[in-house]
Amino acid sequence: MRGKYFDVVSIAAEPLQAKAAFTSARNVGRAVDRIAIKRRLREAYRLEQPDVPSRVMVFVGNEKTLSAQFTDLRLQMRQILVKFSNQNRD
């Protein structure tokens, strides 16, 4: 699933087993920038964790992840987690 600030690859997991991984493409820039992207994604995920569905998810940050307002990043994270949560119910 593509988003404005990051992309997500997800597969269904065993019930009650939510797992997440965070990465960024090497073409983003310096290592410092890639680490900052992963930190921002991790924090947004942590803050939205009560809505996490039972899935294995890989979040891939891009250049916009670094420059985005954190509230916008959290909003996209919440929207994606709710969307995956709804898919689990079907």
The answer as to whether 19 is a domain residue is: no
Question: Is there a domain that residue 44 lies in?
Answer: yes
Would you say residue 51 lies in a domain?
A: yes
Averaged pLDDT for residues 11-27: 79
Residue 35: the pLDDT is: 93
Query: Does 16 reside within a domain?
Result: no
pLDDT for the residue 89: 60
Q: How far apart are CA 46 and CA 69, in angstroms?
A: 17
Residue numbers of the domain that contains 62: 25-89
DSSP state of 62: -
Enumerate residues 6+ apart whose C-beta is below 8 A from 78.
Answer: 48, 51
Mean pLDDT of 23-32: 87
Does residue 46 lie in a domain region? yes
CA dist 52 and 45 (Å) reads: 8
Q: Which long-range contacts (CB under 8 A, 24 or more apart) does 42-46 make?
A: 43/70, 44/70, 44/73, 44/74, 44/77, 45/20, 45/77
Query: Is 76 domain-assigned?
Result: yes
Instruction: Work out how many domains the chain is built from and give that number.
Output: 1
Query: For the whole model, what pTM was predicted?
Result: 0.84
Q: Is the model's pLDDT at 90 over the cut of 70?
A: no
- Mean residue pLDDT of the chain comes to 85
**Domain for residue 15, yes or no?**
no
